Chains A and B, each alone.
Chain A
Amino acid sequence: MLFNSLDFAIFLPIVFLLYWFVAQKNLKLQNALLVLASYVFYGWWDWRFLSLIIFSTVVDYLIGQRLRTEDKQSKRKILLWTSVIVNLGFLGFFKYYNFFLENFVDAFSLFGMQINANSLNIILPVGISFYTFQTLSYTIDVYRKKLEPTQDFIAFSAFVCFFPQLVAGPIERATNLLPQFYKKRTFEYHKAVDGMRQILWGLFKKVVIADNCAEFANQIFNNSADMNGSTLVLGAIFFTFQIYGDFSGYSDIAIGTSRLFGFDLKQNFATPYFSRDIAEFWRRWHISLSTWFRDYLYIPLGGSRGGTWMKVRNTFAIFLVSGFWHGANWTFIIWGTLNAIYFLPLLLTNNNRKNLGVVAEGKLLPSFRELFSMLTTFMLTVFAWIFFRAENVSHAFNYIGGIFSESVLSIPSFSGIRDALITLVLISIFLFIEWLGRNGEFAIENLINKLSSFYRVLFYGFLFFIVLLFYKNNGAEFIYFQF
């Protein structure tokens, strides 16, 4: 079920009413209702893959139980690795089987050895990368004794499959989300209103920004061989806003929906395109994944302790894994590597934690220096996104080759230019609002409270109208569903 579909618009109020009116007095019933609703939500896409989630839930719950009573370190390690192998095994099979097989065959053919191997027609279960990482965080934290293993199977199931963040995150830590299922939840007016606000803003990002940018990004990327340099630049910029609007929009709707049910999820995006360097960008982009890799990969590998070589190795490791997490394609690996290369000078000069606060805090406008840094970081990001969006590596290089040609000075040309101009105006308005609200968890969070109640309501009405006006095709799918 898509957040931006009519199905969800009917599903959400039903679950909401049942949750607060029927199950309100019984915590277990509330959690059971969330499990059931989450299974319906997921099964709407393909019910067969529910078995994977249920299997993963049972395995990790049982391993958690064993870890509670097991004191012997070697046995605890075996239990941990069982969970890692089962979870990553599913992920590996569904997501990477064909990739490894094809590359294995290609590698052998380089040495003149022909291997007959048939790739499988595998459907990638939606959200597998997200809930796999979420359940892994539980087992690892229990193993590290940072978290008491739960004995409440319903609460644990709800933690694994909580529908707002099941298919595209934010990837929640067990330490943050699981305890929320144990506590009695009461309806909080301000939390719910805030949630509705965030849902509306998320819909704006997805429907108005991402889906409209997608139309031109797709057109330009799919016909890149016929496009001039300036059009290709525009295509990359459209994709840059498409992916941001799409993914951060999803996160906003997920966080907002959770608030309606009394849950607090972690912030996943913090105006990343206003970052002054690439390190800051990665502290602001897909925060739940970056911190997951930091805590469960980077730090166990040694983190920034040790010598320069260790730091470089670990940095490359997390960027490569992060790239590969996004998809079984060399383009994602190059995208990850490119970001690691961007990151390297900051790391080597110890400048990677220079920009920790919000840019131009307390000021209306940035300084020239800040503006220059933001633009440079933005351009580096746009360039990297080309690899992310391209069909394959040669497509990406041809695309870049097309940009670095004389035609980059010509006027952009593609069909639907009037719609594209309107979309660029919308992007500008979006950036302006994001800039004004860069201190908040989401752009309009603090901004809206500065308005009088009359203008506030009018603003909601206007947002609703804009979402309706630019809504297309009954809900385009979110990009991150494929990851």
Chain B
Amino acid sequence: MGLNLFISNSNIIMLKFFKKIMFITLISLVTTLVGVKVFGDFNQYLKTSFLKYPLGGGGHTYSRLSEVENIENIDILFLGSSHSYRGFDTRIFSNYGYSTFNLGTSSQTPIQSKFLLKKYIKQLNPKIIVFDLYHKTSSIKGVESAIDIISNSKNLSCFELKMFLEIGDVEVIKTFIYSFINKSLLKEKFQEETLKKYDKYVKGGFVEKSSVYSKYESGFPKIFENKLSKKQLSAIDDIINICKSNNVKIILVNTPLKKQYNLSYDHNIYFDSLMNSKAEYINFNTLNLSLNDTIHFYDKDHLSQKGVELFNKYFIEKVLGSIKP
């Protein structure tokens, strides 16, 4: 009674309205959790694009993100897209006495690299970080890669949550909800095969492509400059700063591409000079590695195993030679 003296009638009505909105929002959230779970399960069979959950999809992300949980104190950590996990063979580095882990994932953009680095830098304690910067990944939002990582992370943490908030895409939110229900609430069990068609997962995060596989590609039309994303460029800066504050040496690299394909890009010089201004940067497409487009590549931008061997040997001897930890 006394309270009503201070609250006007319209405020009471407004309060009723807000209460209703809050209640409906709450019910909507519950409905969404249940709905996403039900639709997601059905979608394993329907295979529509409305809710993406590529658990155990291409690139062995699940195996890599599971294995990394048990790795500590390494010499070199590789980050980046498929160019990284298909380009740096951890076995070759091991033969030269380096303990390494390849944390590259499909289409990984600097935003994802940043969150993976933040999540694992203390645990892995690397001395050197080799960060693959394929300029295409610096021009995109990073939705596909975020979905890949969120679907294949064994345990979702605040890092994945922050990553999806930074990207701010509804596609990622849906996958996050579905993945959270499956992993954190229902303790989903999954075992990824080591050998998938032409791909073999190698301990340490590398994926070896069978020598049988080859994709013929030719005639690359001129690709005009993709606008580099401000968010991605800022993520590159963040990665460099994280390395600095942890006393870790960082090497930015652009792994080899087929010559003709590389030439189709019109902004290589701009990208190279931009990266050079940020940290030590090596574009291997500008160096003479004696790579042959037919023998050393299985498609336009991925090295064959023979190419990987040649490239890694070059990298270890010429780049790491002087800075062996």
Contact = CB atoms under 8 A, between A and B. Distances in A.
B10 interface: yes
Contact of B50 (A186, A458, A461, A470): A470
B28 A419 contact: no
B21 A196 contact: yes
Nearest to B33: A465
B260 to A, nearest CB: 27
Interface in B151-204: 168-171, 173-174
B17 A187 contact: yes
Interface in B264-301: none
A469 B28 CA distance: 12
B24 interface: yes
B259 interface: no
Given A422-B46, A469-B50, A469-B51, A457 B17 contact: no
B320 interface: no
Interface in B20-41: 20-21, 23-24, 27-28, 30-32, 35-36, 39
A136 B20 CA distance: 40
A483 B83 CA distance: 45
A474 B172 CA distance: 11
B13 interface: yes
A97 interface: no
A422 B49 CA distance: 10
B32 A468 contact: yes
A419 B170 contact: no
B230 interface: no
Contact of B35 (A187, A418, A457, A469): A469
A29 interface: no
A469 B10 contact: no
Contacts of A457: 23-24, 27
B47 interface: yes
Contacts of B31: 458, 461-462, 464-465
A189 interface: yes
Contact of A460 (B14, B28, B168, B171): B28
Given A472-B171, A474-B168, A474-B170, A416 B36 contact: no
A344 B105 CA distance: 63
A457 B17 CA distance: 14
B48 interface: yes
Interface string A180-199: 00000011110011001000
Interface in A42-88: none
Interface residues of A, number: 28
Most B CB contacts (10 A, CB to CB) among A186, A457, A466 go to: A457
B9 to A, nearest CB: 9
A471 interface: yes
Nearest to A471: B170
Given A457-B27, A461-B28, A474-B170, A189 B13 contact: yes
Given A418-B48, A419-B50, A468-B32, A461 B24 contact: yes
Interface in A387-415: none
A20 interface: yes
A24 interface: yes
Interface string B224-258: 00000000000000000000000000000000000
Contact of A187 (B10, B47, B50, B51): B10
A420 to B, nearest CB: 9
Nearest to B141: A474
A189 B35 CA distance: 30
A313 B32 CA distance: 55
A471 B172 CA distance: 11
Interface string A410-453: 00000010110010000000000000000000000000000000
A6 interface: yes
A464 B28 CA distance: 6
Contacts of B32: 461, 464-465, 468
B214 to A, nearest CB: 25
Contacts of B17: 187, 189, 192-193
Contacts of B36: 465, 469
Nearest to B27: A461
A92 B42 CA distance: 52
Contact of A469 (B13, B30, B174): B174
Contact of A422 (B16, B35, B48, B170): B48
Given A461-B31, A469-B35, A416 B174 contact: no
A132 B49 CA distance: 41
A474 B30 contact: no
Contacts of B35: 462, 465-466, 469
A472 to B, nearest CB: 7
A460 B20 CA distance: 12
A189 B14 CA distance: 7
A189 B17 CA distance: 6
Q: 7 tightest A-B contacts by CB?
A: A461-B31, A464-B28, A465-B35, A461-B27, A471-B170, A461-B28, A465-B32
14 contacts: A187-B10, A187-B14, A187-B17, A189-B13, A196-B21, A457-B27, A461-B30, A461-B32, A462-B35, A464-B24, A464-B32, A468-B32, A469-B35, A469-B174
Given A461-B27, A461-B30, A464-B32, 4 more contacts: A187-B14, A188-B13, A416-B49, A465-B31
Interface of A: 6, 20, 24, 186-189, 192-193, 196, 416, 418-419, 422, 457-458, 460-462, 464-466, 468-472, 474
Interface of B: 10, 13-14, 16-17, 20-21, 23-24, 27-28, 30-32, 35-36, 39, 46-51, 168-171, 173-174
